[in-house]
Structures are given as C-alpha cells and as structure tokens.
Structure 1
Amino acid sequence: MAGCAADATGVEPVAALLQTLEAEAEARHLRVLGGFHPGPSDGAPEGCGTLLMIGPAEPGFWPEFRAAPEFADGGPDPLDRWSKRVLGGWATALGAQALFPSNGPPYAPFIAWAKATGRVWNSPAGILVHDQAGLMVSFRGALALPERVALPPAPPRPCDTCAKPCLGACPAGALGAGGDYDVPRCKDWLDTPAGEDCMTRGCALRRSCPLSQAYGRPEAQSAFHMRSFHSP
C-alpha cells in the first residue's frame, strides 16, 4: 500500500524518484494518480517494486491529444494508440514496463490497482472517485518500475465530508445508492432527446462531483468519451 517503508530485504524506497517521475509525466500531459508497492497476489509483473497509475493531466490534456497524429488519422481507438505510443515510449526510456487497460484478455486488474493506491475509492454512487480528479478519473495506463519508490501517505476520503450530489445526479436512474451500474438503461437514455445533454457535455453524474468540476476537463473531451462508450 501507499506509504510503506523498507521491504523484507531491507531495501529502502528511492526517496527522490517520485518527483522526477511526476515532472516527466506532466511533460507528456500525463499525471501520476497514485501508486503502491505490489505484493505477490496483486497481479503486477514479476520484479515490480512500484506500480504507478497514470492518467490525463488536466487541464490541458485535450488540446495535446487533438494535435496528435492518432486523433486525425481516422484509425480505430485513437486514444488507446496515443497512450501506447507516449506511455510506452516513456516506459522504455525508464527501463520500466507499461501496462494498459485495453490489453487483453486477460485484462490487468486496473480497478484493484487503483484502489490499492489509497487515492481511489468507490463513490457513494458506486463508480470510482479519485482524491483530485473526482468522478472524472481515468487511467491511460500504468508503469511497473523495478525501484521501490517512496510514496506519500494516503489522503482522506473526499466523500466523507461531501454533500454527495452524485447520488441524485443520474437523469436515467442508472446509477445511485445501490452501487450497481445499469449500462443498458444508461445507453437507452443516451438515445433519447433528454440524453443529448450527457452525450454532448459528459455524464451528468460525473459532472456533479465537486472534485470533477475542479479538474478542468473540456466538454468536447467528455463528448469524445461518451461517443466511444456509446458506440456499438
């Protein structure tokens, strides 16, 4: 878990490396959204001392992606291909391994990894929430590093002191206090005139989160993700 000290071999965490990695991520319009020191049952690659979860750096990610060749070439899955080029190239330079949620089957346990960082939880509405990105959290990939990087302690859970507007925010009633996500109901709603707001501006429930509102994702970016989600 985040913040653990020396391992059983007595190897101390690499103290200064995290700040360097965070700066290198930001230079690529990416952000380190958490990390942990995996154990044998976590599904990380063999020899991984630290697993870092990598997501878009907001604000500013969308203009960078729109200017990338993958966005304009007409090929499938442009964001996944951008992620594999940029994050994969960075991993090679680091002597690390890049892992991606789109690779599989078998698929890497990204949800379990995210929760293991101590910075991601199930929100009151059921979907994942991040201490900074809120309900807009997404992961472009993960970096498996051989070094045992020093990590900060886990922050407080933001939902504990929140008014929880997410609980009543889904206009389709596909998400709520029960925690289950009714995907067919959500997609059916998006096909209605009333669902156009979610299609063009992004999921109303995700937008309701105070942390999401501060994370700076443009509506055009949310609409891109909604089209990808809703495509057959």
Structure 2
Amino acid sequence: MLEEIAACLRESGLILRGGLHFARGEERPSGPGGEPAGSVVLVGNAGADYWRHFNCWRARQPADLADPLDCWSREVIGAVAQKAGARVLMPNDRPFAPFQQWVMRAEGLKSSPLGLLIHPRYGLWHAFRGALLFDEEIALPNVERSNHPCALCDGKPCLKACPVGAHSEAGFAYAACVSHVRGADGQTCREGGCIARNACPVGERYRYPAPVQAFHQKAFAGF
C-alpha cells in the first residue's frame, strides 16, 4: 500500500516522509473510522519538484484564492487518502495536531540554528504538507537517519549571513527580519530567499529555485 501511495504522490511532486504508531494512552486524532488512529504517515516534499504541478493547478484557480499551497496540498493528499482508506490531517487544521513532535519522532530530525528542522540529506529544503491517518497500525516508510548535521558544521555560516542579524544563539528576531524583508533594502531576501537559510551548506542540490523562495518569503512576510 505504501508503494501505491508513494507512486500517486510522486505524480504531484510530493513524497512519503516518516510515520509513527501511536502509543497506548497517547492522545491521538481520530482515524477514518472515527476511533483514535493507530498510525500516522507524513507527506511532504524534498526540493521543489512539487512547484511545476502546483503552478499548473494555481493557474486554474481564482486569483484571490487564500492559502493556495495549502489548498493544493489538501486536494492532492486528499485524493491519495481516498484511495488508501485514510483520513487527511493538515498542519493548520483545528484543533492543531502536534506535527512538529510527530516529525521529530518519525524522522529523528532536530532544529537548525535558524529554528527550521534540518534533514541530513535535504538540509533546510524540505517541508511537511500533511498527514495520512489510519485506523490500524500499518507498515511505516523507511527513513534516513544520521548524526545531526549542525553538530558537524564548522563556523555556523547561517548565523552570520543575515544582513540584520535576525538569527543568533539567543533565537530569532522576527520583527527585525520581517521589517527588513518588507523594506527598501530587503529586495535580495524578498526575491532570492532568506540569505541565512541559503548559507547552509547541507542539501544544496535540493535548494529551492528563486521563484519558490520568493513565494514563501511573500507568505512569511505577509505582503
């Protein structure tokens, strides 16, 4: 079944990520049958293979459609879920599910100094778009696990690249970052993506092209 799900997702540039079985007594969302789910399998992307498919879909939608990438993801994952007898759960569905915790459990990922979860192969160029919930425990996707890439990184270039010093060991200065991205001096960040994120050497072959980064920067900064 997982092979069939993966094949369907690949048609839209998405991939199966990790998954987990819920422990007895653990709070868990309902599965497709209405009872607490037994397993969750995560869906996302590595690199920007999804971008062409998303853009083709976006061209057929109203120009003022809100949250188009989330809408597209729900549609794609929903079609797969229907075939697999699963229930779709999205990160922005309420009540919010602990996606971040699921991701860390399922793939063993840890945060980078930028606060983004870093993958040993994909670096910072990946995302989780939704999840498939199953009533029973199912076989889970195999995932790549290795040492935390940031622990082996010499010099932490990501912490030195931001033009306004928004990233530091103390955390993320959100207001300074957004102000810069929206401002007159923020064109590079707006059009080419976060300079600090691009400074990370891990997963360079999966780096999002500039138009993809610009799309996400626009959503992040709200302009």
Please give the TM-score of this superposition, normalised by the length of structure 1. Answer: 0.81
- Aligned residues between the structures: 214
**CA gap 1:176/1:52 in 2 versus in 1, 3 angstroms:** farther
User: How far does residue 221 in structure 1 lie from its aligned partner after superposition?
Assistant: 0.8
The DSSP-based 3-state class of the residue aligned with 1:68 is: helix
User: How far does residue 70 in structure 1 lie from its aligned partner after superposition?
Assistant: 6.3
Q: 1:109 aligns with which of 98, 107, 111?
A: 98
Query: Residue 98 of structure 1 corresponds to which residue in structure 2?
Result: 88
Q: 2:197 aligns with which of 184, 187, 206?
A: 206
User: Would you say 1:65 and 2:54 are equivalent positions?
Assistant: yes
User: How far does residue 130 in structure 1 lie from its aligned partner after superposition?
Assistant: 2.1
**Rounded Cα–Cα distance in structure 1 between residues aligned with 2:178 and 2:26:** 35
**Rounded Cα–Cα distance in structure 2 between residues aligned with 1:55 and 1:205:** 23
User: How far does residue 126 in structure 1 lie from its aligned partner after superposition?
Assistant: 2.8
User: How far does residue 84 in structure 1 lie from its aligned partner after superposition?
Assistant: 1.2
Whether the 8 Å CA contact 2:20–2:40 is kept in 1: the answer is yes
**Rounded Cα–Cα distance in structure 1 between residues aligned with 2:8 and 2:46:** 12
Q: 1:169 aligns with which of 144, 147, 161?
A: 161
Query: Residue 139 of structure 1 corresponds to which residue in structure 2?
Result: 128
Query: Residue 218 of structure 1 corresponds to which residue in structure 2?
Result: 209
Structure 1 counterpart of 2:26, one-letter code: S
Please give the TM-score of this superposition, normalised by the length of structure 2. Answer: 0.84
Query: Residue 32 of structure 1 corresponds to which residue in structure 2?
Result: 16
Deviation by residue 1:147-186 (Cα, 9 ceiling, x = unmatched): 42144365112223223322222222222222x2221111
Identity fraction in percent: 32
Structure 2 counterpart of 1:87, one-letter code: I
Whether the 8 Å CA contact 1:166–1:176 is kept in 2: the answer is no
Deviation by residue 1:70-92 (Cα, 9 ceiling, x = unmatched): 66421111111111111111111
Gaps of at least 5 residues in structure 2 are none
- 1:44-55 to structure 2, matched below 5 A, reads 44-45=29-30, 46-55=35-44
Query: Residue 77 of structure 1 corresponds to which residue in structure 2?
Result: 67
Deviation by residue 1:91-118 (Cα, 9 ceiling, x = unmatched): 11111111111222x2111111111113
User: How far does residue 63 in structure 1 lie from its aligned partner after superposition?
Assistant: 1.2
RMSD (CA atoms): 2.3
**CA gap 1:125/1:177 in 2 versus in 1, 3 angstroms:** farther
**Rounded Cα–Cα distance in structure 1 between residues aligned with 2:105 and 2:89:** 16
**Rounded Cα–Cα distance in structure 2 between residues aligned with 1:84 and 1:107:** 15
